[in-house]
């Protein structure tokens, strides 16, 4: 296999893992599970500290995390010069992606028919599943959502949070918090070791304590679990979120500017951007699990 092909195949999988399961997206959802203490009581004029802000965001973030599987939406993926748009819908307990556009152009009638046939097949197949098959499929999806829990539980140990200021971000008045690796932190394993190589910044809405934006940067080489690669310093992640119908706040954009070294000798840089839009509550029968 040619070097360029190996690099492309690797990064397509790696980008998907970081954007959907790991990287700073983990830090975003992770705070949901970090803090179990009750919310501190603040006076009307009190200036909250970083830990208080993080704690008060816990309830809304937990609700958002739980609400996410209840939504259908569209996803537009841009990697270098290629663009694909998908309809993502929940079907009996797990999501399915249907391709709807390439390079912002609708599919041909032939391709549209083929994608519809694939969708019809999946719907029919899932409706005929045994309880064992359905349980296995949904468990795989849930495992993807929960696979980083060990790392999530380490975040409060791995990072120091500091309130560095206030600003306006995406029309929201926000607190700005810096997250830096905590000196002396000892990771539990190879997977949690990735936390020692990252630092980040959070923009948290002052009124709702929702996370408006989160950025992270790799500051020294870290490994991606499951891939023969090292993510190099200078790799940056950005995650934005906003309100959707029903009151939840869900991701609206994810950007990665990456530098990676594959098999210790194949260098690969990429710029990828994913946007999420047109969130709609899924019909109860399409999210049904047995």
Q: What is the pLDDT of residues 189-244, one digit of tens each?
A: 777 777 888 899 999 999 999 999 989 888 888 775 544 467 778 888 899 999 99
**Does residue 84 have a pLDDT over 50?**
yes
pLDDT digits (tens, 9 = 90+) for 121-174: 999 999 999 999 999 999 999 887 876 556 656 766 788 889 999 999 999 999
Q: What is the DSSP letter of 9?
A: H
- CA 51/CA 39 separation, integer angstroms: 10
Please tell me the total count of domains within the chain.
1
pLDDT of residue 276: 97
CB 286 within 8 A of CB 90: yes
Nearest one of 210, 264, 258, 260 to 235, comparing CA atoms = 258
pTM: 0.78
Instruction: Judge residue 118's burial from the number of C-beta atoms within 10 Å of its C-beta, 0-12 exposed, 13-18 middle, 19 or more buried.
Output: middle
The boundaries of the domain holding residue 235 are: 3-287
CB proximity list for 41: less than 8 A, separation 6 or greater: none
pLDDT of residue 108: 97
């Amino acid at each position: 296999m040619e070097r360029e092909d190996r690099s492309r195949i690797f990064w397509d999988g790696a980008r998907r893992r970081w954007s959907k399961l790991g990287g700073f997206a983990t830090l975003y959802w992770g705070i949901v599970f970090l803090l179990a203490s009750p919310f501190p009581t603040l006076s009307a004029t009190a200036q909250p500290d970083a830990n208080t802000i993080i704690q008060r965001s816990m309830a809304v973030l937990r609700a958002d995390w739980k609400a996410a599987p209840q939504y259908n939406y569209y996803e537009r993926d841009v990697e270098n010069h290629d663009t694909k748009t998908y309809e993502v819908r929940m079907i009996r307990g797990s999501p399915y992606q249907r391709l709807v556009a390439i390079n912002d152009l609708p599919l041909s009638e032939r391709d549209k028919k083929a994608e519809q046939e694939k969708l019809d097949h999946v719907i029919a197949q899932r409706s005929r599943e045994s309880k064992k098959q359905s349980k296995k499929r949904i468990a795989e999806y849930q495992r993807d959502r929960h696979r980083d829990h060990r790392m999530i539980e380490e975040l409060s140990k791995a990072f120091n949070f500091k309130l560095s200021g206030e600003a306006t971000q995406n029309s929201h008045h926000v607190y700005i918090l810096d997250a830096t690796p905590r000196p002396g932190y000892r990771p539990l394993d190879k997977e949690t070791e990735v936390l020692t190589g990252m630092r980040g910044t959070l923009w948290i809405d002052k009124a709702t304590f929702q996370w408006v934006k989160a950025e992270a940067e790799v500051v020294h080489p870290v490994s991606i679990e499951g891939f023969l690669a090292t993510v190099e310093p200078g790799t940056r992640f950005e995650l934005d979120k906003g309100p959707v119908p029903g009151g939840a706040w869900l991701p609206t954009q994810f950007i990665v500017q990456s530098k990676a070294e594959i098999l210790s000798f194949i260098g690969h840089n990429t710029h990828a951007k994913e946007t999420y839009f047109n969130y709609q509550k899924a019909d109860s029968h399409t999210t049904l699990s047995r």
